[in-house]
A and B are shown apart, each in its own frame.
Chain A
Protein backbone atom coordinates (compact mmCIF):
# COMPACT_ATOMS: atom_id res chain seq x y z
CA UNK A 1 0.00 0.00 0.00
CA UNK A 2 2.59 2.59 1.10
CA UNK A 3 5.78 3.10 -0.88
CA UNK A 4 5.08 3.01 -4.61
CA UNK A 5 3.31 6.08 -5.92
CA UNK A 6 0.04 5.41 -7.75
CA UNK A 7 0.12 5.66 -11.53
CA UNK A 8 -2.47 7.84 -13.27
CA UNK A 9 -3.02 7.70 -17.01
CA UNK A 10 -3.56 11.06 -18.72
CA UNK A 11 -6.20 10.88 -21.46
CA UNK A 12 -6.65 13.88 -23.75
CA UNK A 13 -10.13 13.84 -25.25
CA UNK A 14 -10.03 17.16 -27.14
CA UNK A 15 -13.39 18.85 -27.69
CA UNK A 16 -16.19 16.43 -26.92
CA UNK A 17 -19.89 16.66 -26.21
CA UNK A 18 -20.92 16.28 -22.57
CA UNK A 19 -22.72 13.05 -23.45
CA UNK A 20 -19.58 11.54 -24.98
CA UNK A 21 -17.50 12.52 -21.94
CA UNK A 22 -20.05 10.84 -19.64
CA UNK A 23 -19.82 7.68 -21.73
CA UNK A 24 -16.01 7.67 -21.58
CA UNK A 25 -15.95 8.39 -17.85
CA UNK A 26 -18.19 5.36 -17.32
CA UNK A 27 -15.75 3.19 -19.30
CA UNK A 28 -12.93 4.30 -17.05
CA UNK A 29 -15.04 3.88 -13.89
CA UNK A 30 -15.89 0.32 -14.98
CA UNK A 31 -12.24 -0.47 -15.69
CA UNK A 32 -11.55 -0.09 -11.97
CA UNK A 33 -13.56 -3.25 -11.29
CA UNK A 34 -10.86 -5.49 -12.75
CA UNK A 35 -7.63 -3.74 -11.74
CA UNK A 36 -6.13 -0.40 -10.62
CA UNK A 37 -6.89 1.97 -13.49
CA UNK A 38 -6.54 5.56 -12.33
CA UNK A 39 -7.10 8.02 -15.16
CA UNK A 40 -7.15 11.78 -15.66
CA UNK A 41 -9.46 12.76 -18.51
CA UNK A 42 -8.85 16.21 -20.04
CA UNK A 43 -11.28 17.86 -22.42
CA UNK A 44 -13.28 20.87 -23.49
CA UNK A 45 -17.03 20.77 -23.98
CA UNK A 46 -19.35 22.38 -26.49
CA UNK A 47 -21.61 24.80 -24.58
CA UNK A 48 -23.55 22.91 -21.90
CA UNK A 49 -25.22 23.68 -18.57
CA UNK A 50 -25.15 20.88 -16.02
CA UNK A 51 -26.82 20.38 -12.66
CA UNK A 52 -26.04 17.98 -9.79
CA UNK A 53 -28.08 15.62 -7.61
CA UNK A 54 -30.16 18.46 -6.17
CA UNK A 55 -33.00 18.77 -8.71
CA UNK A 56 -35.45 21.06 -6.90
CA UNK A 57 -33.75 24.39 -7.72
CA UNK A 58 -33.83 23.55 -11.45
CA UNK A 59 -37.27 22.65 -12.77
CA UNK A 60 -37.69 21.54 -16.38
CA UNK A 61 -38.94 24.98 -17.45
CA UNK A 62 -35.71 26.64 -16.36
CA UNK A 63 -33.61 24.04 -18.17
CA UNK A 64 -35.71 24.49 -21.33
CA UNK A 65 -35.01 28.25 -21.25
CA UNK A 66 -31.29 27.50 -21.14
CA UNK A 67 -31.62 25.18 -24.14
CA UNK A 68 -33.10 28.08 -26.11
CA UNK A 69 -29.75 29.86 -25.73
CA UNK A 70 -28.21 27.16 -27.90
CA UNK A 71 -26.61 25.18 -25.09
CA UNK A 72 -26.98 21.53 -24.20
CA UNK A 73 -28.40 20.81 -20.74
CA UNK A 74 -27.72 17.78 -18.51
CA UNK A 75 -28.73 16.63 -15.06
CA UNK A 76 -25.91 14.62 -13.46
CA UNK A 77 -25.18 12.60 -10.33
CA UNK A 78 -22.36 14.83 -9.12
CA UNK A 79 -22.35 17.13 -6.11
CA UNK A 80 -22.65 20.88 -6.61
CA UNK A 81 -25.35 23.01 -8.23
CA UNK A 82 -25.64 24.48 -11.74
CA UNK A 83 -22.62 25.37 -13.83
CA UNK A 84 -21.57 26.02 -17.41
CA UNK A 85 -18.96 24.27 -19.55
CA UNK A 86 -17.81 25.53 -22.94
CA UNK A 87 -14.85 26.08 -25.25
CA UNK A 88 -11.91 27.78 -23.56
CA UNK A 89 -12.58 26.00 -20.28
CA UNK A 90 -10.24 23.22 -19.17
CA UNK A 91 -12.39 20.37 -17.91
CA UNK A 92 -10.64 17.66 -15.95
CA UNK A 93 -12.26 14.38 -14.84
CA UNK A 94 -10.02 12.35 -12.51
CA UNK A 95 -11.35 8.79 -12.38
CA UNK A 96 -9.41 7.61 -9.35
CA UNK A 97 -9.72 4.83 -6.84
CA UNK A 98 -9.36 6.74 -3.57
CA UNK A 99 -8.18 3.45 -2.09
CA UNK A 100 -4.89 4.17 -3.91
CA UNK A 101 -4.75 7.64 -2.29
CA UNK A 102 -6.72 8.59 0.83
CA UNK A 103 -10.20 7.16 1.45
CA UNK A 104 -11.86 10.49 2.04
CA UNK A 105 -13.95 12.56 -0.31
CA UNK A 106 -13.25 15.63 1.80
CA UNK A 107 -9.48 15.08 1.38
CA UNK A 108 -9.91 14.49 -2.35
CA UNK A 109 -11.85 17.71 -3.00
CA UNK A 110 -9.36 19.64 -0.88
CA UNK A 111 -6.45 18.32 -2.98
CA UNK A 112 -8.26 19.30 -6.18
CA UNK A 113 -8.65 22.83 -4.80
CA UNK A 114 -4.95 22.95 -3.84
CA UNK A 115 -4.00 21.73 -7.31
CA UNK A 116 -5.89 24.57 -8.99
CA UNK A 117 -4.52 27.15 -6.54
CA UNK A 118 -1.04 25.97 -7.58
CA UNK A 119 -1.92 26.34 -11.25
CA UNK A 120 -3.13 29.90 -10.65
CA UNK A 121 0.03 30.72 -8.70
CA UNK A 122 2.15 29.60 -11.66
CA UNK A 123 0.34 32.25 -13.71
CA UNK A 124 0.96 34.84 -10.99
CA UNK A 125 -2.65 34.76 -9.76
CA UNK A 126 -3.46 34.62 -6.07
CA UNK A 127 -6.36 32.18 -5.69
CA UNK A 128 -7.99 30.74 -2.61
CA UNK A 129 -10.75 28.56 -1.24
CA UNK A 130 -13.80 29.74 0.67
CA UNK A 131 -16.67 28.12 2.57
CA UNK A 132 -18.09 27.47 -0.90
CA UNK A 133 -16.20 24.70 -2.64
CA UNK A 134 -14.28 25.76 -5.72
CA UNK A 135 -11.35 28.06 -6.35
CA UNK A 136 -11.77 31.82 -6.10
CA UNK A 137 -9.87 34.95 -7.03
CA UNK A 138 -11.29 37.42 -4.55
CA UNK A 139 -15.06 37.30 -4.94
CA UNK A 140 -15.00 35.58 -8.31
CA UNK A 141 -14.93 31.88 -9.00
CA UNK A 142 -12.24 30.82 -11.45
CA UNK A 143 -12.73 27.06 -11.14
CA UNK A 144 -15.82 24.99 -10.34
CA UNK A 145 -15.65 21.58 -8.66
CA UNK A 146 -18.34 18.90 -8.51
CA UNK A 147 -17.65 15.23 -8.09
CA UNK A 148 -19.28 11.84 -7.60
CA UNK A 149 -17.91 8.98 -5.56
CA UNK A 150 -19.12 5.38 -5.41
CA UNK A 151 -17.14 2.53 -3.82
CA UNK A 152 -14.20 4.98 -3.65
CA UNK A 153 -14.17 5.48 -7.45
CA UNK A 154 -14.41 9.14 -8.39
CA UNK A 155 -15.97 10.72 -11.47
CA UNK A 156 -16.84 14.22 -12.68
CA UNK A 157 -14.26 16.75 -11.47
CA UNK A 158 -13.30 20.34 -12.11
CA UNK A 159 -13.64 23.10 -14.72
CA UNK A 160 -11.05 25.89 -14.89
CA UNK A 161 -11.86 29.00 -16.96
CA UNK A 162 -8.93 29.73 -19.31
CA UNK A 163 -10.38 31.89 -22.12
CA UNK A 164 -14.03 30.86 -21.78
CA UNK A 165 -16.75 33.14 -23.16
CA UNK A 166 -17.93 34.38 -19.77
CA UNK A 167 -21.26 35.73 -21.03
CA UNK A 168 -22.74 32.20 -20.82
CA UNK A 169 -22.53 32.45 -17.02
CA UNK A 170 -24.81 35.49 -17.07
CA UNK A 171 -27.87 33.27 -17.54
CA UNK A 172 -27.44 31.29 -14.31
CA UNK A 173 -26.54 31.80 -10.70
CA UNK A 174 -23.29 29.80 -10.96
CA UNK A 175 -23.20 27.04 -8.37
CA UNK A 176 -26.23 28.62 -6.73
CA UNK A 177 -24.19 31.36 -5.08
CA UNK A 178 -25.92 34.74 -5.43
CA UNK A 179 -23.91 37.95 -5.62
CA UNK A 180 -20.58 36.41 -6.56
CA UNK A 181 -19.10 36.50 -10.05
CA UNK A 182 -16.97 34.33 -12.23
CA UNK A 183 -13.63 34.99 -13.84
CA UNK A 184 -10.94 33.33 -15.96
CA UNK A 185 -7.16 33.23 -16.34
CA UNK A 186 -7.51 35.42 -19.45
CA UNK A 187 -9.64 38.04 -17.65
CA UNK A 188 -7.28 38.18 -14.68
CA UNK A 189 -4.07 38.38 -16.75
CA UNK A 190 -5.54 40.64 -19.45
CA UNK A 191 -3.94 38.42 -22.09
CA UNK A 192 -5.13 35.31 -23.89
CA UNK A 193 -4.49 32.11 -21.91
CA UNK A 194 -5.71 28.99 -23.70
CA UNK A 195 -6.56 25.50 -22.47
CA UNK A 196 -3.42 24.22 -24.22
CA UNK A 197 -1.30 26.80 -22.32
CA UNK A 198 -2.80 25.61 -19.05
CA UNK A 199 -2.69 21.81 -19.35
CA UNK A 200 1.06 21.36 -18.63
CA UNK A 201 0.71 23.38 -15.42
CA UNK A 202 -2.35 21.39 -14.35
CA UNK A 203 -0.55 18.09 -14.91
CA UNK A 204 2.50 19.25 -12.95
CA UNK A 205 0.41 20.49 -10.04
CA UNK A 206 -1.76 17.35 -10.04
CA UNK A 207 1.33 15.10 -9.95
CA UNK A 208 2.70 17.13 -7.06
CA UNK A 209 -0.44 17.32 -4.91
CA UNK A 210 -1.60 13.75 -5.49
CA UNK A 211 1.94 12.40 -5.20
CA UNK A 212 1.50 10.17 -8.24
CA UNK A 213 3.15 9.26 -11.55
CA UNK A 214 1.49 10.39 -14.74
CA UNK A 215 1.64 8.32 -17.91
CA UNK A 216 0.22 9.01 -21.32
CA UNK A 217 -1.30 6.56 -23.74
CA UNK A 218 -2.81 7.25 -27.16
CA UNK A 219 -6.08 9.15 -27.25
CA UNK A 220 -9.13 7.12 -26.16
CA UNK A 221 -11.11 5.25 -28.86
Chain B
Protein backbone atom coordinates (compact mmCIF):
# COMPACT_ATOMS: atom_id res chain seq x y z
CA UNK B 1 0.00 0.00 0.00
CA UNK B 2 1.38 3.41 0.93
CA UNK B 3 4.49 1.89 2.56
CA UNK B 4 5.64 0.27 -0.70
CA UNK B 5 5.42 3.53 -2.63
CA UNK B 6 7.21 5.43 0.12
CA UNK B 7 10.14 2.99 0.25
CA UNK B 8 10.66 3.25 -3.52
CA UNK B 9 10.74 7.05 -3.47
CA UNK B 10 13.06 7.10 -0.43
CA UNK B 11 15.68 4.81 -2.00
CA UNK B 12 15.85 6.81 -5.22
CA UNK B 13 16.44 10.05 -3.28
CA UNK B 14 18.92 8.59 -0.82
CA UNK B 15 22.14 9.69 -2.56
CA UNK B 16 21.02 13.32 -2.85
CA UNK B 17 19.67 13.39 0.70
CA UNK B 18 22.82 12.05 2.40
CA UNK B 19 25.15 15.12 2.21
CA UNK B 20 22.43 17.45 3.54
CA UNK B 21 21.67 14.99 6.37
CA UNK B 22 25.12 15.58 7.83
CA UNK B 23 24.55 19.35 7.80
CA UNK B 24 21.03 19.23 9.17
CA UNK B 25 22.03 16.71 11.88
CA UNK B 26 24.42 19.33 13.28
CA UNK B 27 21.77 22.04 13.04
CA UNK B 28 19.14 19.78 14.55
CA UNK B 29 21.21 19.00 17.64
CA UNK B 30 22.00 22.71 18.06
CA UNK B 31 18.30 23.53 17.85
CA UNK B 32 17.44 20.73 20.27
CA UNK B 33 19.79 22.26 22.85
CA UNK B 34 18.09 25.62 22.45
CA UNK B 35 14.62 24.17 22.65
CA UNK B 36 15.28 21.64 25.41
CA UNK B 37 12.69 23.49 27.48
CA UNK B 38 10.03 21.49 25.68
CA UNK B 39 8.32 20.37 22.52
CA UNK B 40 6.38 23.62 22.44
CA UNK B 41 9.35 25.46 20.99
CA UNK B 42 7.65 24.68 17.69
CA UNK B 43 4.08 25.57 18.57
CA UNK B 44 1.22 23.16 17.93
CA UNK B 45 -2.02 24.27 16.32
CA UNK B 46 -5.17 22.18 16.75
CA UNK B 47 -8.34 21.45 14.82
CA UNK B 48 -11.77 20.87 16.34
CA UNK B 49 -11.39 17.24 15.26
CA UNK B 50 -8.45 16.83 17.63
CA UNK B 51 -5.67 16.76 15.08
CA UNK B 52 -2.54 18.85 15.64
CA UNK B 53 -0.08 20.31 13.18
CA UNK B 54 3.43 21.52 13.95
CA UNK B 55 5.31 23.62 11.39
CA UNK B 56 8.97 22.61 11.13
CA UNK B 57 11.76 25.00 10.12
CA UNK B 58 11.51 23.60 6.62
CA UNK B 59 7.94 24.93 6.33
CA UNK B 60 6.58 21.40 6.29
CA UNK B 61 3.76 20.61 8.72
CA UNK B 62 3.85 17.46 10.84
CA UNK B 63 0.35 16.13 11.64
CA UNK B 64 -0.89 13.91 14.44
CA UNK B 65 -3.80 13.42 16.82
CA UNK B 66 -4.07 14.90 20.30
CA UNK B 67 -3.96 13.16 23.66
CA UNK B 68 -7.73 13.66 24.01
CA UNK B 69 -8.23 11.87 20.68
CA UNK B 70 -5.93 8.92 21.42
CA UNK B 71 -7.64 8.37 24.78
CA UNK B 72 -11.07 8.50 23.16
CA UNK B 73 -10.01 5.94 20.56
CA UNK B 74 -8.46 3.30 22.78
CA UNK B 75 -5.52 1.13 21.71
CA UNK B 76 -4.76 1.75 18.04
CA UNK B 77 -4.15 -1.49 16.15
CA UNK B 78 -3.95 -0.26 12.57
CA UNK B 79 -3.34 2.98 10.65
CA UNK B 80 -4.56 3.68 7.14
CA UNK B 81 -2.42 6.54 5.85
CA UNK B 82 -2.37 8.34 2.50
CA UNK B 83 0.07 7.88 -0.37
CA UNK B 84 2.98 10.31 -0.55
CA UNK B 85 2.11 12.92 -3.15
CA UNK B 86 -1.62 12.94 -2.35
CA UNK B 87 -3.16 16.39 -2.60
CA UNK B 88 -5.41 17.24 0.31
CA UNK B 89 -7.89 20.06 0.80
CA UNK B 90 -8.57 21.18 4.36
CA UNK B 91 -11.01 18.74 6.04
CA UNK B 92 -10.54 16.03 3.39
CA UNK B 93 -10.48 12.51 4.82
CA UNK B 94 -6.83 11.43 4.66
CA UNK B 95 -6.96 8.10 6.43
CA UNK B 96 -8.36 6.13 9.35
CA UNK B 97 -7.23 4.69 12.65
CA UNK B 98 -8.55 1.36 13.88
CA UNK B 99 -9.01 0.70 17.58
CA UNK B 100 -11.41 -1.55 19.53
CA UNK B 101 -13.01 -2.74 16.27
CA UNK B 102 -13.77 0.87 15.31
CA UNK B 103 -12.41 2.62 12.23
CA UNK B 104 -12.27 6.37 12.86
CA UNK B 105 -11.69 8.82 10.02
CA UNK B 106 -8.85 11.32 9.99
CA UNK B 107 -9.36 14.81 8.51
CA UNK B 108 -6.69 16.98 6.96
CA UNK B 109 -6.03 20.07 9.11
CA UNK B 110 -4.85 22.10 6.10
CA UNK B 111 -4.65 22.18 2.31
CA UNK B 112 -1.39 20.79 0.99
CA UNK B 113 0.49 17.78 -0.32
CA UNK B 114 1.52 14.70 1.64
CA UNK B 115 5.34 14.49 1.61
CA UNK B 116 5.92 11.72 4.14
CA UNK B 117 3.96 9.23 6.23
CA UNK B 118 5.15 7.60 9.45
CA UNK B 119 6.10 4.10 8.32
CA UNK B 120 6.91 3.05 11.90
CA UNK B 121 3.17 2.93 12.53
CA UNK B 122 2.76 -0.10 10.27
CA UNK B 123 4.53 -2.35 12.80
CA UNK B 124 3.97 -0.20 15.84
CA UNK B 125 0.57 1.54 15.76
CA UNK B 126 0.58 1.86 19.55
CA UNK B 127 3.07 4.73 19.16
CA UNK B 128 -0.03 6.84 18.56
CA UNK B 129 -1.25 6.08 22.07
CA UNK B 130 2.16 6.17 23.78
CA UNK B 131 3.60 9.24 22.07
CA UNK B 132 0.88 11.09 20.19
CA UNK B 133 2.85 14.37 19.90
CA UNK B 134 6.24 12.88 19.05
CA UNK B 135 6.92 9.36 17.75
CA UNK B 136 3.22 8.79 16.94
CA UNK B 137 3.08 11.50 14.24
CA UNK B 138 0.94 10.45 11.25
CA UNK B 139 2.06 12.37 8.18
CA UNK B 140 3.93 15.45 6.97
CA UNK B 141 2.46 17.85 4.45
CA UNK B 142 3.19 21.10 2.62
CA UNK B 143 1.19 24.15 3.67
CA UNK B 144 -0.50 25.66 0.65
CA UNK B 145 -2.36 28.34 2.57
CA UNK B 146 -0.74 29.80 5.74
CA UNK B 147 -4.00 31.66 6.46
CA UNK B 148 -5.63 28.28 7.21
CA UNK B 149 -2.93 27.66 9.82
CA UNK B 150 -3.62 31.00 11.52
CA UNK B 151 -7.29 30.09 11.89
CA UNK B 152 -6.54 26.90 13.89
CA UNK B 153 -6.59 26.83 17.70
CA UNK B 154 -3.39 27.35 19.67
CA UNK B 155 -2.66 25.10 22.65
CA UNK B 156 -4.48 27.33 25.18
CA UNK B 157 -7.60 27.60 23.02
CA UNK B 158 -7.55 23.85 22.40
CA UNK B 159 -7.29 23.08 26.13
CA UNK B 160 -10.37 25.26 26.67
CA UNK B 161 -12.17 23.48 23.85
CA UNK B 162 -11.45 20.04 25.33
CA UNK B 163 -12.67 21.20 28.77
CA UNK B 164 -15.95 22.34 27.20
CA UNK B 165 -16.45 18.91 25.62
CA UNK B 166 -15.69 17.06 28.84
CA UNK B 167 -18.27 19.06 30.80
How far apart are B105's CB and chain A's nearest CB, in angstroms?
A: 4
Contact with A along B93-127 (1 / 0, CB 8 A): 10010111111110100000000000000000000
Q: Are A79 and B102 in contact, with the CB atoms below 8 A?
A: yes
Given contacts A53-B96, A53-B98, A79-B98, contact A105 B105 (CB under 8 A): no
A116 at the binding interface (Cβ < 8 Å)? no
Chain B: how many interface residues by the 8 Å CB criterion?
20
User: Nearest residue in A to B104 (C-beta to C-beta)?
Assistant: A149
Restricting to B62-116, which residues have a CB under 8 Å from any CB of A?
A: 71-74, 78, 80, 93, 96, 98-105, 107
Q: A100 within 8 Å of B by Cβ?
A: no
* A191 located at the interface, meaning its Cβ lies under 8 Å from any Cβ of chain B in the complex: no
Q: Which chain A positions have C-beta within 8 A of B165?
A: 103
Asked whether B78 lies within 8 Å of A105 as measured between CB atoms, the reply is no
Measured CB to CB, the closest approach of chain B to A15, in angstroms, equals 25
Q: Is the CB of B105 within 8 A of A53?
A: no
**Complex interface: stretch among A38-46, A84-92, A140-148:** A140-148
**Quick check: B93 and A133 within 8 Å, CB to CB?**
no
In the complex, what distance in Å separates the CA atom of A145 from the CA atom of B78?
16
Flag if B102 contacts A149 (CB, 8 Å): yes
At the interface, yes or no: A169 with Cβ under 8 Å from chain B?
Answer: no
Q: Would you list which residues of chain A between 132 and 162 have a CB under 8 Å from chain B?
A: 133-134, 145-151
Residues in A neighbouring B78, C-beta threshold 8 A: 53-54
B95 to chain A, nearest CB (A): 10
Q: Which residues of A contact B104 (CB under 8 A)?
A: 105, 148-150
B72 pairs with A106, CB closer than 8 A: yes
Per-residue CB proximity of A23-54 to B under 8 Å, as 1/0?
Answer: 00000000000000000000000000000111
Q: Which of A77, A103, A104, A145 contacts B101 (CB 8 A)?
A: A145
Residues of B within 8 A of A106 (CB): 71-74, 99-100, 102
Chain B residues with Cβ under 8 A from A145's Cβ? 101
Task: Return B40 CB to nearest CB of chain A, in Å.
Answer: 25
How many contacting A-B pairs (Cβ < 8 A)? 73
With the chains together, A115 CA to B121 CA distance in Å?
Answer: 33
Contacts of B99 in A (CB 8 A): 79, 105-106
* A109 & B96 in contact (Cβ 8 Å cutoff): no
Q: Which residues of A contact B71 (CB under 8 A)?
A: 104, 106
B72's contact among A55, A104, A146, A151, by CB below 8 Å, is which?
A: A104
Contact of A80 with B by CB under 8 A = yes
B130 contacts A by Cβ under 8 Å: no
B72 close to A80 (CB less than 8 A): no
Across the interface, which residues of B come within 8 angstroms of A149, CB to CB? 102-105
CA distance A78 to B165 in the complex (A): 25
Give the CA-CA distance A33 to B40 in the complex, in Å.
36
Mark B residues whose CB is within 8 Å of A: 1, 49, 71-74, 78, 80, 93, 96, 98-105, 107, 165
Going nearest first, the 8 A-B pairs with the smallest beta carbon separation are: A106-B74, A104-B72, A133-B101, A150-B105, A80-B101, A79-B103, A79-B102, A79-B101
